[in-house]
Amino acid sequence: MLTQQELKQNAAQAAVDYILPMLRTDVIVGVGTGSTADLFIDGLAMHKERFRGAVSSSDRSSARLSALGVRVFDLNDVQTMPVYVDGADEIDAGLHMIKGGGGALTREKIVASVAERFVCIVDESKLVQKLGRFPLPVEVIPMARAAVARELVRLGGQPVLREGFVTDNGCEILDVAGLAIAQPEQLEAAINNIPGVVTCGLFAIAGADIALMSTQDGVRELRAPR
Protein backbone atom coordinates (compact mmCIF):
# COMPACT_ATOMS: atom_id res chain seq x y z
CA MET A 1 0.00 0.00 0.00
CA LEU A 2 1.52 3.29 -1.12
CA THR A 3 1.51 6.19 1.33
CA GLN A 4 0.03 9.54 0.32
CA GLN A 5 3.55 10.95 0.07
CA GLU A 6 4.50 8.16 -2.33
CA LEU A 7 1.36 8.80 -4.37
CA LYS A 8 2.25 12.49 -4.58
CA GLN A 9 5.79 11.62 -5.64
CA ASN A 10 4.48 9.37 -8.42
CA ALA A 11 2.16 12.11 -9.70
CA ALA A 12 4.99 14.64 -9.67
CA GLN A 13 7.32 12.30 -11.55
CA ALA A 14 4.60 11.55 -14.09
CA ALA A 15 4.33 15.29 -14.75
CA VAL A 16 8.08 15.59 -15.25
CA ASP A 17 7.97 12.71 -17.72
CA TYR A 18 4.95 14.26 -19.43
CA ILE A 19 6.59 17.63 -20.09
CA LEU A 20 10.09 16.41 -20.99
CA PRO A 21 9.26 16.31 -24.73
CA MET A 22 8.19 19.98 -24.51
CA LEU A 23 11.48 21.20 -23.07
CA ARG A 24 13.83 23.23 -25.23
CA THR A 25 16.45 25.81 -24.39
CA ASP A 26 13.97 28.65 -25.08
CA VAL A 27 11.06 27.17 -23.09
CA ILE A 28 9.75 28.60 -19.82
CA VAL A 29 7.64 26.33 -17.62
CA GLY A 30 4.82 27.45 -15.34
CA VAL A 31 5.03 26.00 -11.84
CA GLY A 32 2.44 26.01 -9.06
CA THR A 33 2.49 25.87 -5.29
CA GLY A 34 1.96 23.17 -2.68
CA SER A 35 3.36 19.89 -1.44
CA THR A 36 2.90 18.03 -4.74
CA ALA A 37 4.21 21.00 -6.71
CA ASP A 38 7.29 20.98 -4.46
CA LEU A 39 8.01 17.41 -5.56
CA PHE A 40 7.50 18.40 -9.19
CA ILE A 41 9.98 21.26 -8.76
CA ASP A 42 12.54 18.85 -7.35
CA GLY A 43 12.14 16.54 -10.33
CA LEU A 44 12.07 19.35 -12.87
CA ALA A 45 15.31 20.81 -11.52
CA MET A 46 17.12 17.63 -12.47
CA HIS A 47 16.60 18.68 -16.11
CA LYS A 48 17.38 22.39 -15.69
CA GLU A 49 19.89 22.41 -18.55
CA ARG A 50 17.13 21.45 -20.99
CA PHE A 51 14.91 24.55 -20.58
CA ARG A 52 15.29 28.29 -20.07
CA GLY A 53 13.58 28.69 -16.72
CA ALA A 54 10.28 28.92 -14.90
CA VAL A 55 7.54 31.27 -13.75
CA SER A 56 6.06 30.35 -10.39
CA SER A 57 2.83 31.16 -8.60
CA SER A 58 4.35 31.99 -5.20
CA ASP A 59 7.38 33.32 -3.42
CA ARG A 60 7.75 29.89 -1.81
CA SER A 61 8.00 28.08 -5.15
CA SER A 62 10.28 30.75 -6.58
CA ALA A 63 12.67 30.29 -3.67
CA ARG A 64 12.67 26.52 -4.12
CA LEU A 65 13.34 26.83 -7.85
CA SER A 66 16.17 29.31 -7.34
CA ALA A 67 17.77 27.16 -4.65
CA LEU A 68 17.85 24.27 -7.11
CA GLY A 69 19.45 26.37 -9.83
CA VAL A 70 16.39 27.02 -12.00
CA ARG A 71 16.16 30.58 -13.31
CA VAL A 72 12.91 32.27 -12.24
CA PHE A 73 11.26 34.80 -14.56
CA ASP A 74 8.75 37.55 -13.85
CA LEU A 75 5.49 36.78 -15.65
CA ASN A 76 5.49 40.29 -17.12
CA ASP A 77 8.52 39.26 -19.17
CA VAL A 78 6.90 36.09 -20.53
CA GLN A 79 4.42 36.03 -23.41
CA THR A 80 3.54 32.35 -23.42
CA MET A 81 4.42 29.00 -21.88
CA PRO A 82 3.64 25.52 -23.20
CA VAL A 83 2.55 24.19 -19.82
CA TYR A 84 1.62 25.03 -16.24
CA VAL A 85 1.88 22.25 -13.64
CA ASP A 86 0.15 22.46 -10.27
CA GLY A 87 -1.79 20.45 -7.72
CA ALA A 88 -5.33 20.84 -6.42
CA ASP A 89 -7.23 20.49 -3.17
CA GLU A 90 -10.17 18.90 -4.99
CA ILE A 91 -10.87 17.93 -8.60
CA ASP A 92 -13.95 16.48 -10.27
CA ALA A 93 -14.44 14.38 -13.40
CA GLY A 94 -14.79 17.53 -15.51
CA LEU A 95 -11.37 18.69 -14.24
CA HIS A 96 -12.89 21.61 -12.35
CA MET A 97 -10.84 22.26 -9.23
CA ILE A 98 -10.75 23.89 -5.84
CA LYS A 99 -7.33 25.37 -5.19
CA GLY A 100 -5.83 27.76 -2.68
CA GLY A 101 -5.21 25.67 0.39
CA GLY A 102 -1.73 27.15 0.35
CA GLY A 103 -3.05 30.66 -0.28
CA ALA A 104 -1.55 31.17 -3.75
CA LEU A 105 -4.83 30.92 -5.70
CA THR A 106 -4.67 34.32 -7.40
CA ARG A 107 -1.17 33.93 -8.75
CA GLU A 108 -1.93 30.32 -9.67
CA LYS A 109 -4.90 31.46 -11.75
CA ILE A 110 -2.86 34.21 -13.40
CA VAL A 111 0.12 32.04 -14.31
CA ALA A 112 -2.16 29.25 -15.55
CA SER A 113 -3.94 31.74 -17.85
CA VAL A 114 -0.71 32.41 -19.76
CA ALA A 115 0.10 28.72 -20.33
CA GLU A 116 -1.14 26.76 -23.32
CA ARG A 117 -1.92 23.73 -21.16
CA PHE A 118 -2.75 23.20 -17.47
CA VAL A 119 -1.55 19.87 -16.10
CA CYS A 120 -2.98 19.08 -12.65
CA ILE A 121 -1.08 16.60 -10.47
CA VAL A 122 -3.03 14.92 -7.68
CA ASP A 123 -3.35 11.72 -5.72
CA GLU A 124 -6.61 9.79 -5.88
CA SER A 125 -7.89 11.21 -2.57
CA LYS A 126 -8.46 14.57 -4.31
CA LEU A 127 -11.00 13.21 -6.84
CA VAL A 128 -14.60 14.01 -5.81
CA GLN A 129 -18.03 13.65 -7.39
CA LYS A 130 -18.99 17.20 -6.42
CA LEU A 131 -16.73 20.04 -5.32
CA GLY A 132 -17.18 21.63 -1.92
CA ARG A 133 -16.07 19.23 0.78
CA PHE A 134 -12.83 21.23 0.95
CA PRO A 135 -13.60 24.80 2.11
CA LEU A 136 -13.39 27.21 -0.82
CA PRO A 137 -10.62 29.82 -0.40
CA VAL A 138 -11.54 33.37 -1.40
CA GLU A 139 -8.83 36.02 -1.50
CA VAL A 140 -10.12 39.41 -0.39
CA ILE A 141 -8.84 42.95 -0.02
CA PRO A 142 -8.60 43.45 3.77
CA MET A 143 -10.97 46.45 3.97
CA ALA A 144 -13.67 44.40 2.20
CA ARG A 145 -13.40 41.29 4.36
CA ALA A 146 -16.64 41.79 6.32
CA ALA A 147 -18.64 42.96 3.31
CA VAL A 148 -17.49 40.00 1.22
CA ALA A 149 -18.23 37.61 4.09
CA ARG A 150 -21.84 38.84 4.22
CA GLU A 151 -22.28 38.18 0.50
CA LEU A 152 -20.78 34.71 0.83
CA VAL A 153 -23.30 33.94 3.59
CA ARG A 154 -26.07 35.00 1.20
CA LEU A 155 -24.72 32.44 -1.27
CA GLY A 156 -25.09 29.75 1.38
CA GLY A 157 -21.50 29.66 2.59
CA GLN A 158 -19.92 29.79 6.02
CA PRO A 159 -16.83 32.03 5.65
CA VAL A 160 -14.02 31.92 8.21
CA LEU A 161 -10.99 34.19 8.17
CA ARG A 162 -7.70 32.31 7.80
CA GLU A 163 -6.15 33.71 10.94
CA GLY A 164 -2.60 35.03 10.84
CA PHE A 165 -2.25 34.49 7.08
CA VAL A 166 -1.43 37.13 4.46
CA THR A 167 -1.09 36.26 0.79
CA ASP A 168 1.89 37.19 -1.36
CA ASN A 169 -0.38 39.97 -2.65
CA GLY A 170 -0.89 41.45 0.83
CA CYS A 171 -4.48 40.24 1.04
CA GLU A 172 -6.48 37.91 3.28
CA ILE A 173 -8.23 34.57 2.77
CA LEU A 174 -11.76 33.62 3.70
CA ASP A 175 -12.23 29.84 3.75
CA VAL A 176 -15.85 29.11 2.88
CA ALA A 177 -17.49 25.88 4.01
CA GLY A 178 -21.01 24.66 3.31
CA LEU A 179 -21.28 25.66 -0.34
CA ALA A 180 -23.30 23.39 -2.64
CA ILE A 181 -21.23 23.59 -5.81
CA ALA A 182 -23.55 22.05 -8.38
CA GLN A 183 -22.57 24.57 -11.06
CA PRO A 184 -18.93 25.50 -10.45
CA GLU A 185 -18.54 27.87 -13.41
CA GLN A 186 -21.54 29.96 -12.36
CA LEU A 187 -20.47 30.06 -8.72
CA GLU A 188 -16.93 31.07 -9.68
CA ALA A 189 -18.27 33.99 -11.72
CA ALA A 190 -20.68 35.04 -8.98
CA ILE A 191 -18.04 35.11 -6.26
CA ASN A 192 -15.46 36.82 -8.43
CA ASN A 193 -18.00 39.58 -9.13
CA ILE A 194 -18.37 40.49 -5.45
CA PRO A 195 -16.62 43.85 -4.87
CA GLY A 196 -13.49 43.29 -2.81
CA VAL A 197 -12.84 39.76 -4.00
CA VAL A 198 -9.49 39.33 -5.71
CA THR A 199 -10.41 35.85 -6.89
CA CYS A 200 -11.87 32.64 -5.53
CA GLY A 201 -10.27 29.22 -5.54
CA LEU A 202 -12.68 27.70 -8.03
CA PHE A 203 -10.85 26.83 -11.26
CA ALA A 204 -13.89 25.93 -13.33
CA ILE A 205 -14.30 28.58 -16.01
CA ALA A 206 -10.75 27.58 -16.98
CA GLY A 207 -10.07 24.20 -15.40
CA ALA A 208 -7.27 21.74 -15.99
CA ASP A 209 -6.68 20.33 -19.46
CA ILE A 210 -5.12 17.13 -18.15
CA ALA A 211 -4.95 15.55 -14.70
CA LEU A 212 -2.25 13.07 -13.78
CA MET A 213 -3.85 11.21 -10.88
CA SER A 214 -1.71 8.87 -8.83
CA THR A 215 -3.51 5.75 -7.60
CA GLN A 216 -2.54 2.50 -5.91
CA ASP A 217 -2.56 0.96 -9.41
CA GLY A 218 -0.40 3.59 -11.10
CA VAL A 219 -0.88 7.06 -12.57
CA ARG A 220 -4.08 7.66 -14.56
CA GLU A 221 -4.34 10.38 -17.18
CA LEU A 222 -7.68 12.20 -17.14
CA ARG A 223 -8.67 14.68 -19.84
CA ALA A 224 -11.25 17.42 -19.70
CA PRO A 225 -14.43 16.58 -21.63
CA ARG A 226 -14.83 18.59 -24.81
Among all residues, which ones are annotated catalytic?
Answer: 108
> What phi, psi does 5 have (nearest 5°)?
-65, -40
| Alpha-carbon gap, residue 159 to 149, rounded angstroms | 6
Nearest to 110 by CA among 89, 92, 86: 86
209 is in an annotated binding site: no
89 is in an annotated binding site: yes
32 is in an annotated binding site: no
17 is in an annotated binding site: no
| Alpha-carbon gap, residue 32 to 34, rounded angstroms | 7
86 is in an annotated binding site: yes
36 is in an annotated binding site: yes
The secondary structure of residue 135, as a DSSP letter, is P
80 is in an annotated binding site: no
| Alpha-carbon gap, residue 161 to 167, rounded angstroms | 13
Q: Which amino acid is at 121?
A: I
53 is in an annotated binding site: no
Beta-sheet strands, E only, within the chain = 28-31, 53-56, 84-86, 90-91, 97-98, 118-123, 136-140, 158-161, 172-177, 197-200, 202-203, 210-215, 218-223
101 is in an annotated binding site: yes
175 is in an annotated binding site: no
157 is in an annotated binding site: no
Question: Can you give the length of the chain in residues?
Answer: 226
* Contact status, residue 209 vs residue 224, Cβ threshold 8 Å: yes
Binding-site residues: 33-36, 86-89, 99-102, 126
Binding-site residues for substrate: 33-36, 86-89, 99-102, 126
